[in-house]
Amino acid sequence: MVDTLTGIPAPVSAKLAKNEAIKTASNFLREPLATELRQDTSHFSEPAVQILKFHGTYQQDNRDARQERRQAGLERDYSMMLRTRVPGGHVPAPLYLTLDQLSETYGNGTLRTTTRQTFQIHGILKQNLKTVIGSIIQQMGSTLATCGDVNRNIMAPAAPYQQRPDYRYAQEYAHKLADVLAPHTRAYYELWVDDQPIEIPEDPEVSQAKQFVGQGVQVVGSPEPLYGNQYLPRKFKAAITVAGDNSVDIYSQDIGLVVLTTPTGKLKGFNILVGGGLGRTHGKEETFPLLAQPLGFATPAEIYEVVQAIVAVQRDHGNRQDRRQARMKYLVHQWGIRKFRRAVEQYYGSKLKRFRVMPEFVAKPELGWREQGDGQLFLGLSIENGRIQDTPNCQLKTALREIAQHFALPLRLTPTQDILLTDINPAHREKINQILVDRGVLPVERIPPLVQVSMACPALPTCGLAITESERALPDVLRRLHGLLGELDLAHEPLVVRMTGCPNGCARPYLAELGLVGVTPEHYQIWLGGSPRGERLASVFLEKLHVDQITTMLRPILFCFQQERYAQESLGDYCHRVGLERLRPLITLE
Ligand code: SRM
Ligand code: SF4
């Protein structure tokens, strides 16, 4: 059979993935979660776990304790990880203080900033989940749709440049699009605050969005006018940035929007990219990272409908049989961008405007003290692997709490797990510096550049999918690498290293200059040749290397880089220019 909309053969009907039945039976994200929430148990069943994700929570267990507990005949040490919904990474001080306190009282005592500008709290017991999510909602925060088969947290550059209208538009539209793409079900409020009315001001621009009638998905008259009762085939990610600033890794998104303005700062519209995504599975060649491709341009009046049309195409044509092939990147890849554009135009009801020429992206670290442009300052703090905690040498968590309590500064989370403290009165600069010094928090100038720009995913012990360490392994790798860079007079290089404990790619390693992707315990696949500007994928250099051999492997490459690089050339650009085939013979590993 041929799809009437696109002229493309419809997928041969095959068995749906088991999550599809769970979503359909859930009564718009209620059951069996609501029933199990009332039960006195330590954990949820598998169907409830899948629905729980849409509410922003993952069920996990302490993997460090798994073996010992199994041997002792005990069940797993279950707890919940919770993720906040903060479009553009914007977190008001009262919400931060609530999260800080909840992580102390009900979590594992740490907070974690993520690669999509959200906060995670790990270690919450099932019995405390309602109190924790309820408290966040009461502070006008949310965890809705930060996981599950829906649009996730929308990213935007965090920098609060007040004289740059394009930055303000990116933040503003991140919030508006987050509303447009949010699930409409009341289940979230029914479950977590007993359906108490929550005052959410309605944005008329957003609430007038058109409904896209689907093929096979019932949306007319549905409580979910965009998603229907099956929601999307898979997770969905969107980001919005400004021309030249790729801090959000725009090419890794299902939908990437780039704000374009007139010379006087008026909003012209948005360049639209589609079909990016990074997740893959070792040994499954049919899974791979892909960069987003240009789709077209939309004016501010058109953008909500165009974005919803794109989502509706994925809703109706994305693969619902095989979750490994269900991301929109595979649909765009299989159809090709022209057929995908045709489908979007048919849903939207009109031709899309052409993608506009725009300036190239540059790397934009925003750490240290900076001017906002309105007389106020902001301070970018480098948070190693996003973990906010107190250790004997550095009480970062206490320092942030004290700053939030004394100065009530709004926070912005960056896409690289860092934090910007914003709207700082210059008169408070010294006091804030003093709090940080007293608590042992290093100023950015004393943190090696590669540590500032690198990141690792959480992996063990919380992530159920981790094959090996990441957050706990990267600091030592970077320490050794920093020593090696120093020997070669390269210590000032902001080399982008990203490590993950499995190939899912949560720290976006396939866009790094050096990507370390867990393949077996203590072993990593090595990716080289990505760009510090995030517009190119790295390639596999070695299939498997022990963590202790990473610096040995890099030594001859860095030596050649130091000898042969062009002025200002980064390691990633150098590797890409000379080619990995030329670099492989340099490696001598025992
Ligand atoms: Fe991720 C699953 C952590 C950003 C691709 N990711 C997971 C889970 C929830 C494991 C699970 O499903 O049980 C991890 C929880 C670990 C833990 O203990 O906290 C997890 N992902 C993270 C975070 C916290 C990593 C971090 O260092 O910050 C990031 C949270 C983002 C957020 O706030 O929403 C995170 N994950 C990403 C990204 C990067 C991004 O979105 O920009 C990617 C690659 C981009 C992409 O999606 O294509 C990513 N995560 C995945 C995948 C593979 C998806 C795929 O298409 O194959 C999985 C596994 C899955 O979905 O089946 C996954
Ligand atoms: Fe877990 Fe893998 Fe994501 Fe790391 S990359 S957090 S190990 S799913």
| Per-residue pLDDT reduced to its tens digit, 101-149 | 999 999 999 999 999 999 999 999 999 999 999 999 999 999 999 999 9
Picking from 370, 388, 387, the residue whose alpha carbon sits closest to that of residue 379 is 370
Tokens read off for 223: 């409580």
Evaluate: CB of 466 within 6 angstroms of ligand 2: yes
Question: How many CB atoms neighbour CB 1 within 10 A?
Answer: 8
SS3 category, 256 = strand
CA dist list (Å): 276 to 3, 157, 238, 327, 357: 24, 18, 10, 9, 19
Using CA atoms, how far apart are residues 145 and 253, in angstroms rounded to an integer? 16
Residue 45: predicted pLDDT: 98
Residue 589: predicted pLDDT: 75
502-521 burial, b at 16+ Cβ within 10 Å, e below that, comes to: bbbbbbbbbbbbbbbbbbee
Q: Please, which residues bridge with residue 257 across strands?
A: 240, 272
- Could you tell me the maximum CA-CA distance found in the chain, to the nearest angstrom? 70
| Contact present, 553 and 589 (Cβ < 8 Å) | yes
Evaluate: CB of 501 within 6 angstroms of ligand 2: yes
Using CA atoms, how far apart are residues 225 and 359, in angstroms rounded to an integer? 37
Residue 6: predicted pLDDT: 52
Residue 2: predicted pLDDT: 47
pTM: 0.96
Evaluate: CB of 386 within 6 angstroms of ligand 2: no
Q: Containing H/E element for 59?
A: strand 57-61
* Residues 375-428 pLDDT 10s: 999 999 999 999 999 999 999 999 999 999 999 999 999 999 999 999 999 999
Tokens read off for 178: 């987050």
CB-based burial label for 204 (10 Å; 0-12, 13-18, 19+): exposed
Residue 357: predicted pLDDT: 96
What's the CA-to-centroid distance between 399 and ligand 1, angstroms?
A: 28
Residue 221: predicted pLDDT: 74
Residue 363: predicted pLDDT: 72
Using CA atoms, how far apart are residues 234 and 324, in angstroms rounded to an integer? 9
Q: Please state, rounded to an integer, the average pLDDT across all residues of the chain.
A: 94
Question: CB within 6 Å of ligand 1 — which residues?
Answer: 58, 60, 81, 83, 114-116, 118, 120, 146, 152-153, 235, 237, 252, 277-279, 327, 386, 457-458, 462-465, 504-508
User: Cα angle at 174 between 116 and 228, to 5 degrees?
Assistant: 90
What's the CA-to-centroid distance between 504 and ligand 1, angstroms?
A: 7
Residue 362: predicted pLDDT: 86
SS3 category, 295 = strand
Residue 8: predicted pLDDT: 52
Choice from 506, 511, 517, 527 to test ligand 1 binding pocket (greatest atom count within 8 A of CB): 506
Q: Which residues of the chain have pLDDT under 70?
A: 1-13, 195, 197-211, 213-216, 220, 590
Using CA atoms, how far apart are residues 319 and 328, in angstroms rounded to an integer? 8
In ligand 1, which atom is closest to the CA atom of 114? 28
